[in-house]
Amino acid sequence: MSYAIEAKLLNADYFPPLHREIKDFTNCENIFYGHYKNNILTAVAEIKHEDKTTHIQSLVVHPNFFKQGIAQELIKFIFKSFHPETFTVETGADNIPACCLYEKMGFSKTSKWMTKHNIIKVSYEKTPC
């Protein structure tokens, strides 16, 4: 449901994350972490970890749990769990809540570009202390 909200924020006619199938998740080598509150899955982070880089491939919070600090908790967990030279993440440039979150968590904007689906994206990096 959070991807549908993001698609609206980005004015996207076609938003690739909304078209991922179960097999796309089960057949990938990425690592998934869930956040639970009272036995309810509230958020999921998908991580692609390589030797020098840990990329936050996806971070979604169920809309019923927006603005409760859950995304921050997951990012802090990722920072504690991995020790790369660089953390990276991408989001839509018009996803202001996500951009503000990443900047608040110490990420710096590194690039901006237009995708083939006419979505302006931004990438961020953070070097661990």
Count up the domains in the chain and report the number. Answer: 1
Output the domain CATH number for residue 94: 3.40.630.30
Per-position DSSP letters for 89-109, written without gaps between them:
EEEETT-HHHHHHHHHTT-EE
Output the average pLDDT for the chain. 94
CB 15 within 8 A of CB 3: yes
C-beta of residue 91 within 8 angstroms of C-beta of residue 113:
no
Full domain range(s) for residue 32 = 2-126
Residue 23 has what pLDDT? Answer: 87
Report the distance separating Cα 70 and Cα 36, nearest Å. 9
Note whether 88 and 55 are within 8 A (CB): yes
Give per-residue pLDDT as tens, 77-92. Answer: 999 999 999 999 999 9
Provide CB contacts within 8 A for 38, sequence distance 6+. none
**Of 35, 25, 28, 125, which Cα lies nearest the Cα of 77?**
35
Convert the pLDDT of each residue in 22-56 to its tens digit.
888 888 999 999 999 999 999 999 999 999 999 99
